[in-house]
Structure 1
């Protein structure tokens, strides 16, 4: 309704009803091109929109977003409508990977009213994976349908998909998986979709014969003798770690906190969560003060499970020596809550040498 009001630009029925100033404003508005853009929804907007569209399923939908930490996937009406329709027809919503697969598939099935039908969903998906991976490798976000000399931030999809006809490319770029960002400029509708598609392409390359050493060179580096992740490739690395045990083992020693990024914890089994906790404690237990490597509370809440009480006890003495490692275990005991680890919380509560924030969390745990 608000959008209709903005774009209707209704003309006054009688100029006598308006002042000369208002009339001139009306004329000038006709000569000016106006661009309206819908901002991304915040969590409150998402909830109100869901309540308006499907009140009988909105509570289940919101609870699902909270439990899976997937609010970032539903910032626009199109995505919310698709999810609620899926909930209505299937009766359930999947995890992060299942939701990305479903959303991408829905966007590829849409046909343009003016053209379309040449690309099968399988061929279109193959093209998207290749584009997404190329953008990561070139560290670009935007693409264009044609070559654009003088604009290094743009990549032409015709240069990536050399085996696609101009007609196929024209149809592909108009799929709602892309959003327009300027004149003949596009980018992926959602960053999470681009990350996932790029990871799928790298996974496919590995299955088709890419050597493990070459795969590691895409994702890892050594700087000043320290083994690190390549920052620009971290989203792809997180996905690959879920699918490839060798990469998971490398990630958990280099940067265990990576696997706690949005939506990922729900895809980790209990043993993987325990391994990441052990590696985090081993890597950072020597940090006696805050160093910024901690894991956020929302992320911790997503991995919390009563089944982790064993690894908490196993790591307690070592973790207790470090600021962020001690904080990690105390907060896990609190958020779960791990009732059989209450004695550990009591130890922290009565330790007068401990940071006050940690003692407070220990007190909350006991209460």
Structure 2
């Protein structure tokens, strides 16, 4: 499906009751939130946030809002017939995201479907979940619709964000920092470098862990501006990075 055009976005948000579509689009531009407008469901979440807050949030706020909305059961009858705590469903999604990143595999096998030849066996990751609970989780709109017994997160950035949240939780454990950091950094030619495949996750993780933010700032500050949500990084650090980049261009 092609991305929504600017005209389609205006039509959509006005149909949803936003009278000041120009203000909405200006805030969209200012916050660089166009990634949340590519599909109707994404845009609907953006409108929901706007209607609730009368503003657009940071990329971090919007991502958190989107994940929470997509993991919730919106049908009250089904919610009552499928008792499922928000904490459990979010924990499961974060664990699957981390497994996906670490295993370099984006596809998950749906229980009770024709067994695909590839993909992560969700039952091996969520070992204390029953098949019904796994099916409910994988049916939430955080994941694309199942095709041939396989699903994946509906967007790469969602997987990276959720994995970062999971890693941030692990960093709180006693003695776990060195073990976790070894996944993101390695020694190459006697220099510490960032593991390339972990850069997208790290760009979110630095927003959740101050020691990592300062480590990345000292090691490779450009990563802070690459992904995640640079606007959520302290202004002083952003200014120093931009000054450093400008000096590099002049030299």
What TM bracket, shorter-length normalisation? 0.7 to 0.9
Where do 1:132-147 residues align within 5 Å?
132-146=97-111
Match of 2:159 among 172, 191, 194: 194
May I ask how many residue pairs the two structures share in their alignment? 248
Match of 1:120 among 45, 64, 85: 85
> C-alpha distance in 2, partners of 1:210/1:65?
41
Match of 1:151 among 117, 135, 141: 117
> C-alpha distance in 2, partners of 1:118/1:210?
35
- Is residue 244 of structure 1 aligned with residue 209 of structure 2? yes
- Is residue 204 of structure 1 aligned with residue 128 of structure 2? no
Residues 1:269 and 1:43: Cα distance change in structure 2 (over 3 Å)? farther
| Unmatched segments (≥5 aa) in structure 1 | 1-37, 282-315, 328-367
Q: Of the two, which has the highest radius of gyration?
A: 1
8 Å Cα contact 1:144-1:156 kept in structure 2: yes
Matched position secondary structure for 1:214: helix
Match of 2:43 among 73, 76, 80: 80
Deviations 1:204-244 (A, max 9, x none): 11112352221210111122333221111112211222232
- Give the Å deviation of 1:202: 0.4
- Is residue 256 of structure 1 aligned with residue 221 of structure 2? yes
- Give the Å deviation of 1:91: 2.0
TM-score when normalising by structure 2: 0.87
Deviations 1:235-293 (A, max 9, x none): 22112222323212221233211111246221122211134246x45xxxxxxxxxxxx
Matching residue of 2:189: 224
| Greater shift in the superposed pair: 77-86 or 106-115 | 106-115
Match of 1:234 among 175, 192, 199: 199
> C-alpha distance in 2, partners of 1:42/1:157?
37
- Give the Å deviation of 1:125: 0.3
Deviations 1:106-147 (A, max 9, x none): 112224676852311111000001000110000111111239
Matching residue of 2:231: 266
- Give the Å deviation of 1:52: 4.1
Residues 1:57 and 1:261: Cα distance change in structure 2 (over 3 Å)? farther
Where do 1:6-155 residues align within 5 Å?
38-111=1-74, 117-146=82-111, 151-152=117-118, 154-155=119-120
Matching residue of 1:214: 179
8 Å Cα contact 2:224-2:230 kept in structure 1: yes
Residues 1:111 and 1:117: Cα distance change in structure 2 (over 3 Å)? farther
> C-alpha distance in 1, partners of 2:65/2:108?
24
- Give the Å deviation of 1:47: 3.8
Deviations 1:158-187 (A, max 9, x none): 111001111111111111111126211111
8 Å Cα contact 2:204-2:227 kept in structure 1: no
8 Å Cα contact 2:206-2:213 kept in structure 1: yes
8 Å Cα contact 2:36-2:46 kept in structure 1: no
> C-alpha distance in 1, partners of 2:39/2:157?
14
Question: What root-mean-square deviation, in Å, do the aligned CA atoms of Structure 1 and Structure 2 show?
Answer: 2.5
TM-score when normalising by structure 1: 0.61
- Give the Å deviation of 1:148: 7.5
Matching residue of 1:326: 250
Residues 1:128 and 1:265: Cα distance change in structure 2 (over 3 Å)? same
Residues 1:117 and 1:264: Cα distance change in structure 2 (over 3 Å)? same
